[in-house]
Structure 1
Amino acid sequence: MGNQIKKTKESINQETKVEIPLENTFKLTNPGKFEQFCKESTQILNVETFDGFRLEVNQQMNQSFGLTHALSMGSLREEPSYTFGANYVQEKYALIGNRKGDGTVFARYIQQFGRKFLTTIYTQIAGKKQEDSEDTLGADLEYYGEDFTIQSKLKPNKAFGLSYLQSITPRFSAGMEFVYYHNMKTSAIIFASRYFTHNFIFTSSFSTFPVKHFSTNYVQKITPRVGLAAEFIYNIENGLSAMNVGYLYSLRQMRVGGQINSNGKISTLLEQMLHPLISFKLSAEIDYISNTYLFGYGLRVGPGV
């Protein structure tokens, strides 16, 4: 399973690359978490575009403690904002939190027990300006077996979830997730499967909430740093469908990603490393249906860029 806390620390300053597992043995391995069964396609298709100006500064005070600053302004979709964050990471536990300019506070505590158990406790306190938002408290418990993963999620008075993902063959895994929503007195069930080879990954899922729908995702690795992805979603209740197609091209000092969907929206993001500690971003999004054009640029400063 590896050290889950170290993975969490790496995800704070992760570099986006197209990576496809290359297991080629008959031994079953841990399939990962259920909620990440299609993480490769999500990495390519969910291009984080923005408009206006963004500035991100990472300060690594020592090996365990780091600070983050994020400033956003000039956006047509969001109000100007500033977010201050801090993270403290050790081998077996981590504490991560941030505070936004509107007063919203988010904190997460991660603790690893042995090699197989990982627990996360998180809370969010809504700011004064967010009258419609509610304070949130939740906890996740994960168990990593040799060839399966069990995860439970609990949000008091809101929702309870339980998921199970099992490796059936070295290349094929399947599982399901059950979620009960306290406030709506309803439940949801999600079935998912995943199959991969050295060159492609194919995933599929069926969900009963909020509407019954079926989705498939396909990722094709062209080279170790170039990948293509496609997603098809079919709404069983009304017969409508949607499709997304995206690409990701990662070089040592540059990353380019883009997406186009069947709703007429095209988005792209370019990130160029100017210095080992400085990178420059250009973002663009065009929605032909609503006739909107959004452009943004930003800087990211600090280790991990």
Structure 2
Amino acid sequence: MQTSLNGTNKRKTANKNPGTFENYSRESRSVLDQKIFGGFVLEVNQLLNSQFKIRHSLQMGSQTDPASYMLGVSFIKRNNVLQGTINQKGDVRGSFLHKLSPKNLLATNFSFGDKDSIGSQFLHFGSQSTSSVEVSSEKNLKISQLRSFFQNRLVLGLKHTQFFKPKPHHYSTLLVGKLGTKKDTVTVEVSKNPNSFLASYVKKISNRIGFATDFGFNFANRQSTSSFGLNYAMRKTRFQTKLTSDGELSSTISFESLLSSCIFAAKINYPKNSYTVGFGVRMGADF
């Protein structure tokens, strides 16, 4: 609060950063995105100290995917974060984040195995905007900016990708917009190359219940998709369900305790008369 010279109170406007392109639509993804898997998954997290953590992930029993194992490590020290994974095939993926200053961040992502790639991204976080420049070994350049208005109630953004391989002068442009209140959020995406349109609506019914729906249209093949999702979160239990226009129904329910969590996942495709069922366990311990 600020007090003006005439003695009346004047509210100070708070500026809010809009975040990044990767999380600007987090409200709809938190309801519509589900971790659907088949078979059995076991994850064990080892916290060796305050800076170093190891994660073991084992998946088996799926009808479509073979058994797999993945080892993940993460190291955090001051302004640096290093994360990486390696699976039983020897495929390596990772990222390195370096905080240059309170407003500037440098990120490097790398992947070696079936497909080798490496890319670097520079991000600048302003009081009401986020700017990003990204280059990769796949010979493309990405430039984006998000800007917030009215204390982040309105967010507008532009992302341009220039591809230099395999076809020169090929590009893709994405325009985004988000309008939100405490209980309602609407997002719109318009893309050029591919020519598509995507809109979503999220309704926060209560602190525990959320509803979301989205609609997408591809102008090239004139096909549309839509889905409806419901999220119910209690103190240690979370239930999610989603129904798509393709006739696919998926649901997950998770239970969390002090050192472990369990998740049940199921997906039924009525037109294809197929289903997928999964059970997962995640455990964390300090050694």
Structure 1 and Structure 2 fold alike (TM over 0.5): yes
Distance 2:278 2:138 in 1: 39
Which of structure 1's runs of 4+ aligned residues deviate more than 6 A? none
Aligned residue for 2:108? 121
Distance 2:255 2:68 in 1: 24
Shift of 1:247: 1.4
The whole-number CA distance in structure 1 between the counterparts of 2:230 and 2:133 is 33
Out of 111, 114, 121, the residue aligned to residue 140 of structure 1 is 121
Tell me, in whole angstroms, the C-alpha distance in 2 between the residues paired with 1:282 and 1:222.
Answer: 24
Write the mapping of 1:1-305 to structure 2, written as runs, cut at 5 A: 26-126=13-113, 133-170=114-151, 171-185=153-167, 186-209=170-193, 211-273=194-256, 275-302=257-284
- Deviation of residue 239 (structure 1)? 2.5
Q: Percent identity?
A: 28
The alpha-carbon deviation at position 28 of structure 1 amounts to 3.3
Change (3 A) 1:45 1:25: farther
Could you list the per-position Cα deviations for residues 176-235 of structure 1 after superposition, in whole angstroms to 9, with x for gaps in the alignment?
A: 1001122233110000001111111111010113x3111111111011222111111012
TM-score (ref. length: structure 2): 0.91
CA offset at residue 77 of structure 1?
A: 2.7
Q: CA deviation at 1:153?
A: 1.5
| Residues 122-143 of structure 1, C-alpha deviations (whole Å, 9 max, x = no match) | 21111xxxxxx32011111110
Residue in 2 that maps onto 1:6: none
1: CA distance between counterparts of 2:15 and 2:204?
Answer: 23
CA RMSD across the alignment? 1.6
Is this contact kept in 1: 2:117–2:138, CA < 8 A? no
- The answer for the alignment partner of 2:3 in structure 1 is none
TM-superposed deviation, 1:26: 4.2
> 3-state SS of the aligned residue for 1:44?
helix
Distance 1:272 1:107 in 2: 29
CA contact (8 A) 2:175 2:189 kept: yes
Q: Distance in 1 between matches of 2:191 and 2:203?
A: 24
Alpha-carbon offset, residue 91 of structure 1: 2.8
Structure of greater Rg = 2
| 5+ residue gaps, structure 1 | 1-23, 127-132
Measure the CA separation in 2 of the matches of 1:153 and 1:270: 37
Aligned-partner residue type, residue 268 of structure 2: I
Say if 2:53 and 2:74, in contact at 8 Å, map to a contact too. yes
Amino acid at match of 1:49: I
Alpha-carbon separation, structure 1, partners of 2:195 and 2:112: 32
TM-score by length of 1: 0.86
- Structure number with the bigger relative contact order (C-alpha 8 A, sep ≥ 6) is 1
Mapped partners of 2:57, 2:258: distance in 1: 19
- Kindly provide the amino acid, as one letter, of the partner of residue 146 in structure 1: S
Cα distance in 1 for residues equivalent to 2:76 and 2:249: 38
Aligned to 2:4: none
Question: For the residues of structure 2 that align with 1:231 and 1:246, how far apart are their CA atoms?
Answer: 9
Which one-letter code corresponds to 1:153 in the other structure? E
- SS of equivalent residue, structure 2 residue 19: coil
Distance 1:193 1:187 in 2: 20
